[in-house]
Amino acid sequence: MRLALPLFLVFEGIDGCGKSTLCARLHEHYAGESLPAVLLREPTDGIWGRKIRDMLQGPELPDAAEQVRLFLMDREHDVENNILPAIRHKRMIFMDRYFYSNAAYQGAGGMSPEDILQENLGRGFPLPHRVYLLDLPPQAALDRVSARQGGSKHDLFEKTEFLQRVRDHYLAMADDRFCVIDARGPVEDIFNAVCADIEREFGTK
């Protein structure tokens, strides 16, 4: 089956849900099918993305508005230099986090998720064709993170009550563009479910 390109796919969910692993595996799978696949992530590896990563590992977070400002600067660079060129060249884009993460996370930090979404849309950032939301209860996510890190302390976003608010915001914004997947299932089942959805929604004869 052929796919209608360009195709902009975003993967979202709370920390520990498995989205980064899934996103990378899907990119590898479709690139192996000789499709022009691109793997991107936010925060990026650019100057603003590095500032954000340093911020998230720091002892104290700035307020949610300052966090959003940094993410917007990182995203402006990402859209101009990576996302729009990939769309113009009819690529298949696998995106690990996008502005929905800001709405969910900084929304959980006290801002209005709707205001964050509108700020991003007002800047003309392209909408994805599909958002795959890997839904997982916070405690299950934190257990995974703890096991992965060998029991080391969680970073600033990885707190149960906070992640529950993040999860609630994600589920509240899930519209027809979203495909919500129960991330408690086997990895292989989740991978197959996303492949089936991609081919059902965007396949051509």
Contact indicator for 104, 173 with CB cutoff of 8 Å = yes
DSSP letter assigned to residue 185? S
Determine the Cα–Cα distance for residues 205 and 202; give it in Å rounded to an integer: 10
- What architecture does CATH give domain 2-204? 3-Layer(aba) Sandwich (3.40)
Structure tokens given for 27: 């990119």
Helix axes 160-173, 99-108, angle to 10 degrees: 130
Pairing of strands 92-96, 7-12: parallel
pLDDT (tens digit per residue) in 60-70: 888 899 999 99
pLDDT tens for the chain, residues 1 to 205:
699 999 999 999 998 899 999 999 999 999 999 999 999 999 999 999 999 998 888 788 888 999 999 999 999 999 999 999 999 999 999 999 999 999 999 999 999 999 999 999 999 999 999 999 999 999 898 888 877 765 554 455 658 889 999 999 999 999 999 999 999 999 999 999 999 999 999 998 6
Q: What is the CA radius of gyration of the chain?
A: 17
pLDDT (tens digit per residue) in 139-186: 898 888 877 765 554 455 658 889 999 999 999 999 999 999 999 999
Determine the Cα–Cα distance for residues 193 and 188; give it in Å rounded to an integer: 9
